[in-house]
Amino acid sequence: AQSVTQLDSQVPVFEEAPVELRCNYSSSVSVYLFWYVQYPNQGLQLLLKYLSGSTLVKGINGFEAEFNKSQTSFHLRKPSVHISDTAEYFCAVSGVSSNTGKLIFGQGTTLQVKP
Amino acid sequence: NAGVTQTPKFQVLKTGQSMTLQCAQDMNHNSMYWYRQDPGMGLRLIYYSASEGTTDKGEVPNGYNVSRLNKREFSLRLESAAPSQTSVYFCASSLTIVSYNEQFFGPGTRLTVL
């Protein structure tokens, strides 16, 4: 079984400042890792995913995440945020051998970018 | 190319009423999913359909039924709505059921059960 913990429910930050959204996971099997973003009143869309290989993954809109196997973490970062990045961000995992496509989501982190 | 569409966008029901949430995708995806989103709990899988003609329970299936009508459409039915089913419901689809595939989400249905 897998579980995901997003360590911050809300992260306020000023425009053009850097940001890190933290995600830790627990799993007894190998996993794939995902970050999804949900803009107000919209569905979720994929920011980036880690499947294998380089532990630093680059996604859309200037976001990147680093997979740390020893710390079971997959933190999301952006060096300079914009007002338009205000949204809810979800970390998710799925088992590599899963045949259900099931994603286990964290609780979500609301990023509030202030002018 | 509309992606994943859901109807209705909003719905208010009284306890005990029934309703069906509709979902359709135009990406020729084989697999489809229904999630519910509750504050502070992320998204939880209700049911999924690996391919046309198959459906399986997810994490929280009680009180729901699904129908994979064809490759494009996957509906979710609440037979007797309860206040605990007040939530935002998302439909998603992916090319296949393998776990590394991106899931594409619809805009959601906000359901309130009084």
Whether the pLDDT of residue A99 is over 80: the answer is no
What mean pLDDT comes out for the span B32-50? 93
pLDDT for res B98: 84
Measure in Å the smallest separation between the Cα of B78 and chain A Cα atoms: 21
Instruction: Kindly report the three-state secondary structure assignment for every residue of A27-81.
Output: ECCCEEEEEEEECCCCCEEEEEEECCCCCEEECHHHCEEEEECCCCEEEEEECCC
pLDDT of residue A51: 92
Contact assignment for A45 to B105 by CB distance below 8 Å: yes
**Residue pLDDT, tens place only, B61-107:** 999 999 998 999 999 999 999 999 999 999 999 998 888 889 999 99
Q: What is the pLDDT averaged over residues B48-54?
A: 94
CA distance, residue B79 to nearest chain A CA (Å): 24
Instruction: Share the mean pLDDT of chain A.
Output: 93
Chain B interface, best mutation among A25, A100, A105, A110, by max B CB count within 10 A: A100
A65 in B contact zone (CB under 8 Å): no
Task: Name the 3-class secondary structure at A85.
Answer: helix
Candidate from A37-51, A89-103, B19-33, B36-50 with smallest mean pLDDT? A89-103
Distance CA B70, CA B88 (A): 24
Q: To the nearest whole number, what is the mean pLDDT of chain B?
A: 94
pLDDT band at residue B40 using 50, 70 and 90 as cut-offs? confident
Judge: A101–B101 Cβ closer than 8 Å, yes or no. Answer: yes
